[in-house]
Structure 1
């Protein structure tokens, strides 16, 4: 657990995936050798020649609120276009309860964006119906992401197999009246601010948390792997707008370095978060000394 002033930060891990090196267009053995000492074994597996991608949910506790940030892949979901998330069966709920999180006691769920690996535990299967996993929570999502994924609006141009994520993980939240649709720059609670970080997804929003003179910045998928701190121009193959993703990453890195903010990305390997430090040639990653 990480203490940040009056806030507490922890996380719940769903699964760890192998991500092939095609994640980054410019990856090669020369770069691996240059960064080998810190990349292996937490961020890169030498034997299988793959990156690690942690699918996880961040938990933010205020003195009187429990907030979930992104909800991983989910169980029982039909994912024909994302085989790695198809019909998953994990013990994610037991892990939540293991860190003291009862789903019906969660006050807020912040969805940084609506990709398949960030919204799955919004809902659970009850009989033949998808029902909210966090029935007493306010689900915060951006209008841009909602418009982009809705099959009747921006999502209509996507393959029908991609619509499942909306229908089983977003629509039930809307139907239950639990959604709070925002622009992505709002103050949600004292010390908790949404920040637009588009590019990887059109309406992606980060979460800045400030307390006790310190800042934690949940940056979602601005970066998938800390190698991007050293090569800020590198986008992942999953970034939807490559140019905007680079611009956003540059802004986030500068902010993190200037402010000494703890960055908490969506998919880094252990210790899953850390700091951006300036070097003579750019930036470097300093892993957190605390394992959340």
Structure 2
């Protein structure tokens, strides 16, 4: 576990990776229940130690935020867990202390200078840093930013759909402390289908993990990247795209979306940037006669 900031340049876009936490999360059989044990064991030589802990069988993940400096603006992709939140159904996130704002500031990103916040979807570990506590109230942590929120997720997880169909208390808590305050401040833009941020960055719906799950495509010069949120939690899902995480709300749709996005990444040589990969954090995808495999990992330099 170590907080850090790293950077890579893609065309005219600088990408800063801000890692709040990295470590073993949960057993592989719980995170990706359909992935065969042999898939992990046969790839142990490169899965360990960055993505899998063979001794405990736990998947290794990172909690992180991606900062994109594009066209003179600063864009955040996902905001982590958020400090001091009530998350009784998620022990790792309950009363989390990650200091995202401090990490961003040390990476040269002041909260007031953030122009756009992208929430790829509205799960607890992607929106918690949207807000901060001030005098007992939750307020936007990035006061000048436009928050781009998938409309389908806002409906599903919001009060109109009973806070995620009323299935989990955490859904209500997450919405009330990390999404609703941004609405009240008038900083939210709901979108569906496609949403262009600037000449380099475009959001695209990628449903299945949640109803409004999305990906962010980067195209600048000859460089391409796709920030895929929770489309994949582990590289094993690149080798076996039909294997969903246990957190996917619509499994068949999630698998179909994963196949589509991964095959496009391979065809267009997009750098794949998932939300939770530890290690290098981003990887190229390649086609093989049998399906998909991993290409080179991204070269990311520490700032």
How far the C-alpha of 1:289 sits from its partner, in A, is 3.7
**What TM-score does the superposition give when structure 1 sets the normalisation length?**
0.96
Match of 2:32 in 1: 24
CA RMSD of aligned residues (A): 1.4
Mapped pair 1:14 → 2:20: yes
Any idea what the Cα deviations from partners look like across 1:22-65, whole Å, max 9, x if unmatched?
A: 21223444222311111011101122221112111111111410
Mapped pair 1:2 → 2:8: yes
Mapped pair 1:39 → 2:47: yes
Match of 2:57 in 1: 49
Mapped pair 1:279 → 2:285: no
Match of 2:4 in 1: none
Match of 1:172 in 2: 181
Whole-Å separation in 1 of the counterparts to 2:34 and 2:219: 35
The alpha-carbon distance between structure 1 residues 189 and 63, as it changes in their structure 2 partners (threshold 3 A), is closer
- 2:158 aligned to which of 150, 166, 188: 150
Mapped pair 1:104 → 2:127: no
How far the C-alpha of 1:279 sits from its partner, in A, is 1.6
- 1:133 aligned to which of 136, 141, 161: 141
Whole-Å separation in 2 of the counterparts to 1:208 and 1:289: 16
Match of 2:3 in 1: none
Is the 1:271–1:287 contact (alpha carbons within 8 Å) kept by the matching residues of 2?
A: no
Mapped pair 1:257 → 2:266: yes
Q: Any gaps of 5 or more consecutive residues in structure 2?
A: 1-6
- 2:215 aligned to which of 206, 228, 236: 206
Match of 1:65 in 2: 73
Any idea what the Cα deviations from partners look like across 1:185-226, whole Å, max 9, x if unmatched?
A: 121211211111110011111100100122110011110001
Select between 277-286 and 103-112 the one with higher mean Cα deviation: 277-286
Whole-Å separation in 1 of the counterparts to 2:221 and 2:72: 17
Q: Any gaps of 5 or more consecutive residues in structure 1?
A: none
Is the 1:19–1:53 contact (alpha carbons within 8 Å) kept by the matching residues of 2?
A: no
Is the 1:79–1:87 contact (alpha carbons within 8 Å) kept by the matching residues of 2?
A: yes
Whole-Å separation in 2 of the counterparts to 1:161 and 1:120: 12
How far the C-alpha of 1:158 sits from its partner, in A, is 2.8
**What TM-score does the superposition give when structure 2 sets the normalisation length?**
0.93
Match of 1:188 in 2: 197
Whole-Å separation in 2 of the counterparts to 1:23 and 1:161: 18
Whole-Å separation in 2 of the counterparts to 1:245 and 1:175: 31
How far the C-alpha of 1:152 sits from its partner, in A, is 3.2
Give the total of aligned pairs.
Answer: 292
